[in-house]
Each structure stands twice: as C-alpha cells, then as structure tokens.
C-alpha cells in the first residue's frame, strides 16, 4: 500500500502547473500509488472556499483514493478561518487542516494571526499540517513547530517538506525538533535524498512519510526515488511504514 502524503490539487489555473482530480488519478495509477493525502494549490492571497470545496468533491468522487485535507489562510480573516476549519472537519470530513506560512505570508506561531486557528484545529482532534521549508525559514522554521507541539501535545502534527522546499534545507533543525516532540511526523517531500536518509537513521522509519509534492514534482519519479533510497536502508516493514503505513496510522486512514 502506497500513500502519497503530499499532493496539491485544484481546478485548472491559467499559467500554472495545476492538475485536476482526473489527472491526479491517472498519475496515481501510473505510479502505483493507492491513496493520496490531498490539499489545495491556491494562488497567493486568494479566496480558498471554492478550492477546499473542490478537494471535497474530488475526495467524494474518488472515495478511498483522494484523501481530503483542508487549508486555512489567516489573512482571509480570523473568524472566516475558524469557520473554514469547522467546515473542513465537520462538513467535509477532512483528515485535518494545513497552514502555509510561506505561501500565505505569516509566522506560523504568531499569537494573533495563527495561534487562534491552531487552537480551533486542536478542538477538532484532527491533524495539523505545516509547510516547513527553507524557502521561508523565518516564518516556517521547525522551532516554531516545536513551540506548537509543546503547547498541544495531543495534536498530531505533520511537518511537510521537513525543512526543504528550496535548494538548501534546514532538515537538521527539523530532525532535532522531531526528536524532542513525539507528536511530530515528517513528510519527506521536496527535500534532498541525504536529508531523508539522515532523518530515517536518526528518528527511525516510523517517523517519516513518503510524499511527492505533486504536481511540483513527478509522482512516479518520486516513488522510484524512495524505492531506491529505502532498498538496503530499512527492512521490508520499514519500507511499508514509510511508503504508507505511517501516514495511515497518524491520520487514522483505513487500509
């Protein structure tokens, strides 16, 4: 069972590399991916209600394959963002909600802008995902995730990109923080190969998840890369865990 833990989806956006639900399913079939944790791919600072709805409709149409995950942008308003969280969890049945301080231009632990939304997510009991990348290391730094993990030890937190998403990365910090807080799981998408290997060796196979960052990367290429990374690095159970078992356990996905 392969579960891709990082996929972006939207209706076709002019001038972008966005993919539709139908195109995603074709990619999954080509790549041997059974399920995909899927969040939206918005332009910067744009209304996201319709895009969250698109994820919901895609997850409903391709039930069991596209696994919906919500998205909240604090700049669209605090009360609106809280309502978005409630809609994503209680109406759409999503597995959690993601915040992206790099794309949406905010510090993920900002006490006024971000933390009230995180508190709302915590109330739902669902997972919280963060873009954590060197592309905007000030706003999305792993130590900020650590502060949140300490405040909400009951929340499962996904550290997407584990400090990558740029030519250089801050994965050492991501690994260090994940060692300290057991409620953090790393998604190794848009990150260099040696950083993934180092995370596996230092944290163990049960703390890392495969993610392709489709459509920014090619899903079938990332599956092949992970197969090459894991052969000889972990045993067969470790490979099963990284390629799908870990994210299934964290999110409560039925296999």
For 17-40, the pLDDT digits (tens) are 889 999 999 999 999 999 999 999
Q: What is the pTM of this model?
A: 0.97
Closest of 96, 164, 173 to residue 133, by C-alpha: 164
Contact status, residue 101 vs residue 130, Cβ threshold 8 Å: yes
How many residues comprise the chain?
255
pLDDT at 44 over 80: no
pLDDT of residue 15: 61
Helix-helix angle 21-31:49-61, to 10 degrees? 50
Lateral strand order in the sheet of 208-210: 70-71, 96-99, 127-133, 157-164, 184-188, 208-210
Closest of 65, 68, 50 to residue 11, by C-alpha: 50
pLDDT at 165 over 80: yes
d(CA 239, CA 231): 8
């Amino acid at each position: 069972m392969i579960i891709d833990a990082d996929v972006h989806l939207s209706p076709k956006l002019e001038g972008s590399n966005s993919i539709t639900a139908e195109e995603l399913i074709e990619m999954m079939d080509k790549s041997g991916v059974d399920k995909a944790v899927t969040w939206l791919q918005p332009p910067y600072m744009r209304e996201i209600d319709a895009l969250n709805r698109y994820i919901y409709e895609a997850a409903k149409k391709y039930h069991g394959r596209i696994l919906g995950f919500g998205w909240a942008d604090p700049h669209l308003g605090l009360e609106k963002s809280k309502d978005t969280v409630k809609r994503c969890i209680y109406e759409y049945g999503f597995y959690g909600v993601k915040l992206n301080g790099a794309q949406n231009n905010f510090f993920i632990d900002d006490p006024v802008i971000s933390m009230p939304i995180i508190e709302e997510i915590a109330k739902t009991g669902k997972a919280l995902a963060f873009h954590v990348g060197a592309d905007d290391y000030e706003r999305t730094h792993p130590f900020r995730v650590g502060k949140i993990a300490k405040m909400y030890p009951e929340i499962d937190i996904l550290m997407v990109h584990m400090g990558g998403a740029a030519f250089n990365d801050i994965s050492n910090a991501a690994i260090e923080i994940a060692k300290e807080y057991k409620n953090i799981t790393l998604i190794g998408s848009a990150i260099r190969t040696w950083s993934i290997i180092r995370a596996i060796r230092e944290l163990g196979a049960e703390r890392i998840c495969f993610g392709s960052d489709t459509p920014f990367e090619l899903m079938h290429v990332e599956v092949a890369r992970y197969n090459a990374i894991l052969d000889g690095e972990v045993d067969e159970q470790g490979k099963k865990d990284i390629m799908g078992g870990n994210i299934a356990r964290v999110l409560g996905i039925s296999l």
